[in-house]
Structure 1
Amino acid sequence: MMKRLFLAFLSFTAFYSFSSAQQPSALDQLNPSGEQLSLPPLQLPERGGAIDYTLGWDDSAPLSYAQRPAEVTAGGGTEVIKSVRSGRTPADHKSYAWETVTVNPALIEKALYAYKTFGTGHTFLVFTFKPGGAVDSRGTEIPALTFGAEGWSREPQGYNITHALAGKYPLIWLATTFESYADYTVNLKQKEIFFRNISIGRESTLRLFGLLLARIEETNRNKETYNLFSNSCTNNPVNLLNQVVPEPQRISLEVAGLMNPNASIPKYAVKKYTEKGTLRAAESSIGPGNFDSFDITKI
């Protein structure tokens, strides 16, 4: 397992370093004449301090206030999803609203493939609903819900790629109203979210939703650990989507026994799925410039 993880890490870093390796270094660009430069010595931290900074982990620190594992129960042709983050981001960044939402799968409008490109990126699924398709405990209609596999991080540090590689995070599925997710990402983080339509019919859309709920239950039951390569925000939805599209439109989770970067890195998954026709080429996005006018149900 460690060998596979190490090899996967090498392939992951190779993808990111290849393009930069082809470019002149910053020093070359600043000094095109090639004249010898003298740089001041760099004061390195003590090794122990470096380890504490990158791998330090406080088990007593509170888990992220913005995350909770969704819970699913079925009954009478509907699905009840508990711990759905709702509403706008609170000023104290702690007192988020968590709702119970009842979903009638027969009233699902469509499924969307969503992703973010900042940082390490992120992939998640969005389902939009016809009137009455998703209603919270107060009777409020929910136009769209988001579902994403995430590492449940701790306050105040948040997600750290080193902790992800070290297997520190519990894997959870975060469910939110689209309003909550968009407000958190766009208005708080000042970042964009991108969306693609999935080239599947209604039967496959409903099956995808059913597989998603089953995966949420499985994750909660097994108390899984987030893994950047084999159990992440991207290869979980990739694995679900692979089950509802024909084989030529799937992305292999592994290549020659190694984790496939196309199934693990958000922007590569989008590119590969688009090439295969699984995702449509037209892209929509929400960001600071169009937050107030954007309508997720119109994509």
Structure 2
Amino acid sequence: MKKVTKAIIPAAGLGTRFLPETKAVPKEMLPVIDTPTIQYIVEEAKASGITDIVIVTGSGKNEIEDHFSPNYMLEENLESKGKLDMLKSVQASDDVKVYFVRQPYPKGLGDAVLTGKSFLGNEPFVVMLGDDLMTDQVPLTKQLINSYEKTGSSTLAVMRVPHEETSKYGVIDPIEKVDDETYDVRQFVEKPNPDDAPSDLAIIGRYLFTPEILDVLETTKPGKGNEVQLTDAIDTLNKSQKVYAHEFKGERFDTGNKLSWLKTNIQFGLKRPDLSADLKDYIIKLANELNK
């Protein structure tokens, strides 16, 4: 069994939910506190043992490449002033290599993954979406890798969501539990109407695939939204080789829309030792004023 060392991060979307900001700034570079959301994804990959990452970008995404490239003038300035903590925060990691490939046209998540085929080769790999930040004692990507090492099969992350929200996600139709966290899956359904949703277990932004998914994607026709849907390809793959679902029980922070991004900033701020006390005081003061 080949070791999982590669990850792909799709980042070619237009980010229209955050206009006008994303006219000039990639959505993936919007910060949670002081760190771009895509940096959290890369750190999760690194903590999970991933050594090579390809980021799929599109037009207007140069800031992402700049962020993961050395800035020698900045680094020399920080070092000369003895600001070593800041220096460490901006230096590129030696433990993981980051590459870039362009998706010429936004044709859907499935097409974005297929864009990285030459990088991924004939190896298992992880797909990590930038809208979802996951926290747990064991990183979610590492949980998927651990599951793959037991089964040798593609495994994707799912999480329970309110039933009325199932139309926002791909949803699994589970057959049975294989163990406490793993489901054998009958079918994967893309954004079902809540009345038709086979379960409340929604696919969240982490997937581990065997390389055969790339062959399936090459023949997957556009689905909902006239885009190549990754969920459709997963369902097709499941007909020829087993695809499991791993239930994530940690914390998921959604940064995909303005309100959830604001909430995520507050929640992360409350976890920061340098910010939590003052932020709590401000929230209490604000709540008291609103309740007058």
> What TM-score, normalized to structure 1?
0.26
| Bigger helix share | 2
> What TM-score, normalized to structure 2?
0.26
